[in-house]
Structure 1
Amino acid sequence: MTGSSHQDLLQQGTDFFASEFGIQPAGLWSAPGRVNIIGEHTDYNDGFAFPIAIDKRTVVAARCRTDRTLRVASSAYPGVVETSLDGLDPGSLTGWSAYPLGVVWALAQAAPAAAFTGVDLALSSDVPAGAGLSSSAAVECSVALALNELWNLGLGRPELARIGQLAENVVVGAPTGIMDQSASLLGKPDHGILLDCRTLQTESVALGFRDAGLGLLVIDTRTSHSHADGGYASRRRSCEQGARVLGVKALRDLDGIDLPRAAKLLDQQTFRRVRHIVTENQRVLDTVAALRTAGPSATGPFLSASHVSMRDDFEISTPELDLAVSSAQDLGALGARMTGGGFGGAAIALVRDGDADTVAAGIAREFFRAGFTAPHIFPVSASAGARREQWPSS
């Protein structure tokens, strides 16, 4: 995100808060969306993932109240949702407000002795919703960071990531892992985050894209998805069933040598689901090793292999995503894959800087020929994680 556009987003957040609540916010906080370079659906299997925080962010303008009232507004939706800290119940929170209010509920579970007050929250964002870039985690993490500071809770970033995941799992009803929130809170410029989803240990790994003249293109297919629908949940159930039959705590505990046994014990569909997770975990580690030894250009084949696995074994791709990936590859991308939970959303392509415009134009042309909705194609770069933007003195 350029400095001017970021400042525009911050100003939009301030102005939106003032227009909705008739007062200036006490401060502004922001959190980025994320692109997962590789490691899809591995997080809830205790595996490995390698996301980046991106240069598109959600800004929350916030101010504490003197009563117990909670008010939330979003520039993407009309009206203000109002409730009370005393009546906050996961079953009563629906729609877009379940994300920020779910974080309030989850914070109350994590710090039950804290002296919470009511709060006004106003959300503005340039993270595309429904594109697989985790606009939901950007909301959760910006709100969690803001309230952690406003309420003086003293929670660390790993705990705030768990807060965001709890909100999404229990309140929103999406059975996601912790990768998205970890990326949004822990990102660094031109670095990926190697996340061990079992131990929650993270390691910042230099990408070296800038020095190598490489960049990432996001191809938002504009086919929306919802993590709370049955497709995501059914994949998770298949993984859990495979782990039970194979006698392990999670699919993280398997590697390639276990796949022949898995093929004998599991039905074909469950075996394919298991095979994706086992091979995807290895691809994450191979991608990080390639970055460290051979440079970023060497990661392309792992991205492309990941897409084949998601398309054929996990079966979460779509015709639009497949076309985005194949077109990017044909046009010179070093590697490409769908990213995010699947069933729509976005693909990413690793491209040389000089090829980016040609690749983008070619993909758009192929979508037109196929009769698909025109994709939204834009570059992203690895960015900083959630942060306080402004805390005025008055």
Structure 2
Amino acid sequence: MAIPKEDDATPVHPIPSSVIIMNESTPLISHDQYLASGPLHTDTRFHLSSCITLSSDEEIKEKEISGLSLILLSSLLLTGVYVFVKSLSTTFPSAEIVFARSLTQLPLGLLGCLIFKVNPLGKKGVRKWIFFRAVASAVALSLLFYSLSKLPLIDATVIFFLGPIFKVMIASIILNESFSVLDGFYSICCFLGLVWISKPSFLFNQITFIRFDEQEEEYQKSFAIACALAASLMSAMAYITVKKVGQGTHVMVHVVYFGLVASLLNLPILVLQLQEFVVPKYDWHELGSLLMTGVLAFLGQYFLNQGLKIAPVGPVTLLRTSDVIFAFIFGVAFFKEIPEFYTVVGSLLVVGMTTAMSIHRWHRQELRTAAIKRRRSKDKLARHQQAQQQQHQAQHQQQAQQEHQAY
């Protein structure tokens, strides 16, 4: 499986984010006339096959498969981080786990910057946005790790999966992006799924006959659900900053900023004893597991970044569901967490609606991109024809002058 080099000029496919990468150097050949005539994406109907279709070119297809494999491997590694977090949470507070992960990632990020010859501070014009992205990501991770310590693995993962819904909502408010009626429908369905997963006692006590022996336990569950929701919201805020940061910032710069900010954010929690610090034993189970949360997260983030550069957007959207699938498998295998009927239904609803929204918005973006390309191709073709016409007129005038002089 080939990992793309950092100095590759242009990815095969644009990174599926709010930033659209377009090739402006298309030569004026017959392909422009094809675009100008308008057959590309003139059929506005959505076809599911477009989400799973790979390139017909064997070389590009091989790169796409490599990209999808990297994304799948990244999903496996990051879910493995959640398993370590949940296992460690019986001994260590969530803030200490985040602190250990960030302290592990920080030197790895600095080493990566040294290897790739990248300034760890990033470009001057976007440093404040990189910092803001790191703060949002660090807060999101801290909240997510707390929820993982209190909730079943599948519950916390699916609630965190609501990030795309929040991203669309925030983008419509801050960036004035469109929010259609269909987006609203998907959002409502997702929050209905959230209700089924969280099972609030005032709605489900009579139906499921689930009762907490102590009110404190119910409060902790509700607070953990709120933390998972807040983590999803903060991850969406971090994603929105891609508009400001752009695609030019190296992934190792983000790792360095995140490691530093997350460390500084969680250190006061431990120093002020808001969560009690536990000295880890020098063995694999404790110290080794704490280190592995950082190593696996570092590798997962790197593979994800590399995979997104060459994987086709449609299959990537569908492959995102692997996070939930791995969470379900690991939850059952390692923690004997058998999800209830309502949890399964709610999870399917959330995953299905967020995936449908992502595919719907990707399809709309494809139509807009194709329309822009057709319009630019028409303009370029018109300029080319005008230049040819002027050239013909100049040649005709020159020929007429030569004939007149000869006469």
Q: Same fold (TM over 0.5)?
A: no
Q: Which has the higher strand share?
A: 1
**Short-chain TM bin:** under 0.3
Higher RCO (CA < 8 A, seq sep 6+): 2
What is the TM-score when the length of structure 2 is the normalising length?
A: 0.24
What is the TM-score when the length of structure 1 is the normalising length?
A: 0.25
Q: Which has the higher helix share?
A: 2
Structure with max Cα Rg: 2
